Amino acid sequence: MDRNILNGMTLEKAFQLAKKKVQEKSYDEAVNIYSDILLKFPHNKKARGCLKNLPYSDFYHKGNLHLKNGKIELAVSHYRNAITMNPDFAEAHCNLGVAYENLGETKKAIECFENTVRIKPNYLLAQMNLAVILMNTGNLDKAEVCLKKVLQINPSDPSAKVNMGNIHLARLELDSACDYYKQALKLNPTEINALYKLGITEGKKNNFRRSIDWYSKVLEIQPNNHDALNDAGTMFLEISDLSAAEERFRSAINFNPSFAEAHNNLGHVLTLKGKGGAINCFKNAIINKPDFKLAYLNLAGVLQTAAFVKYDAEFDKVLLNLIKQNTCFRPRAIANAIYSFIKLNPVFFKYQFNKTI
């Protein structure tokens, strides 16, 4: 626990020291002294008055600078000081929430956004931030209340329309979700999130070709959108257009080489087409996402009828991890593939097995 300055000096001396720090423009230290005084004497009017007279906006602007530069903990410190000096400083509460969210402290971020809208109910950014973080934590009902407030203040906010669609999508209210996304597009025809989510929603409705059309509109605006490419590929799979699916998955990997799902999907297409390279695809999926259960299952499937003819050092760990996934398949089913791999490098592979036993 931090030591209170009044443990080592009188109240009068503490005020004198704080005054000196203000004269030196060492405002951080002055805030700390006044805060210590208020911890000991919560109703001390002099300390509260001195805090209000400090340039709290300076702390806010410094906090913004630190937030922009990625110095999140320093930003938090400055925003908290600004709020200590001016508890009704809505913008500082809001940005403190953003800083906490960047630190992964969701509960504190929600508290900050709630404080902001309590102080300033029509603060659109804070209402939107609160809605999104509530939505991400599964609190859809409260998120919807915030978004309705946003749309009450600004009915032409396309982001609010998209997020309302997201709430309905999460509830699997697919027609309502589509309606909100289309409302967003009327306000902004290039709203990428609305176009992309329409692709997802139509896919969930089994309208695969319509889904592909929406993903295509995303790609007209953002040709390197690897998520849209991958999702479009899955829709082409649904209509059995394997060549188009393969093309989309390869493009997704080209733009994002560590995209595990795209590697796995490409491997699945190559398996269906009877083409080589599927094993390597599943290997890449697992390397980029070591806990990828579906990729392990797909790899086990192709290994049942495969044998290694060339040693691949990257495959040592992948194959060992695959064997540990024996609840997904029968290990005996891939015994021939394992044996063919061991023959290519028996000493090293035996060493790896000894380490895991």
304-309 contacts at long range (C-beta below 8 A, 24 or more positions apart):
304/333, 304/334, 304/337, 306/279, 306/337, 307/336, 307/337, 307/340, 308/337, 308/340, 308/341, 308/344, 309/340
pLDDT in tens, 195-210: 999 999 999 999 999 9
Q: How confident is the model at residue 326 (pLDDT cuts 50, 70, 90)?
A: low
Tokens 């490098």 map to which residue?
345
Q: How confident is the model at residue 353 (pLDDT cuts 50, 70, 90)?
A: very low
Nearest to 245 by CA among 256, 253, 257, 236: 236
pLDDT at 51: 74
pLDDT in tens, 138-174: 999 999 999 999 999 999 999 999 999 999 999 999 9
Across residues 12-31, what is the average pLDDT?
83
Residues 6 or more apart whose CB falls under 8 angstroms from that of 197 comprise 162, 165, 166, 169, 177, 181
Lowest mean pLDDT among 6-15, 92-101, 114-123, 231-240: 6-15
Across residues 240-259, what is the average pLDDT?
98
Across residues 119-125, what is the average pLDDT?
94
Q: How confident is the model at residue 2 (pLDDT cuts 50, 70, 90)?
A: low
Q: Give the chain's mean pLDDT.
A: 88
Q: Is the pLDDT of residue 220 over 70?
A: yes
Between CA 174 and CA 158 the distance in angstroms is: 18
Lowest mean pLDDT among 55-64, 191-200, 285-294, 327-336: 327-336
Lowest mean pLDDT among 20-29, 149-158, 220-229, 288-297: 20-29
Q: Which two tokens stand for residue 100?
A: 């906490």
pLDDT at 15: 87
pTM: 0.78
Lowest mean pLDDT among 54-58, 136-140, 144-148, 244-248: 54-58
Are the CB atoms for 63 and 95 separated by under 8 Å? yes
Q: How confident is the model at residue 71 (pLDDT cuts 50, 70, 90)?
A: very high
Q: How confident is the model at residue 331 (pLDDT cuts 50, 70, 90)?
A: low
pLDDT at 351: 44
HSE on the CB side for 53, CA within 13 Å?
Answer: 13
- Name the strand (E) or helix (H) holding 75: helix 72-85
pLDDT at 329: 62
Between CA 100 and CA 187 the distance in angstroms is: 32
252/31: higher pLDDT: 252
pLDDT in tens, 91-117: 999 999 999 999 999 999 999 999 999
Are the CB atoms for 117 and 126 separated by under 8 Å? yes
pLDDT at 354: 45
Across residues 245-252, what is the average pLDDT?
98
Between CA 156 and CA 188 the distance in angstroms is: 9
DSSP letters, 115-178, are: HHHHH-TT-HHHHHHHHHHHHHTT-HHHHHHHHHHHHHH-TT-HHHHHHHHHHHHHTT-HHHHH
Are the CB atoms for 275 and 305 separated by under 8 Å? no
Q: How confident is the model at residue 231 (pLDDT cuts 50, 70, 90)?
A: very high
Q: Which residues of 260-285 are buried (b: 16+ CB within 10 A; e: fewer)?
A: bbbbbbbbbbbbeeeeeebbbbbbbb
The helix/strand count (H/E) of the chain reads as 21, 0
Lowest mean pLDDT among 184-193, 195-204, 221-230, 316-325: 316-325
Residues 6 or more apart whose CB falls under 8 angstroms from that of 253 comprise 226, 259, 262, 263, 266
State which fold the 156-222 domain adopts: 1.25.40
Nearest to 193 by CA among 235, 237, 168, 227: 227
Residue 25 phi/psi, 5° resolution? 60, 25
Largest Cα–Cα distance in the chain? 85
Are the CB atoms for 229 and 252 separated by under 8 Å? yes
Between CA 237 and CA 108 the distance in angstroms is: 43
Tokens 């490409």 map to which residue?
266
Nearest to 199 by CA among 163, 224, 174: 174
Nearest to 189 by CA among 161, 153, 152: 161
* In the chain, domain spans: 156-222
DSSP state of 224: T
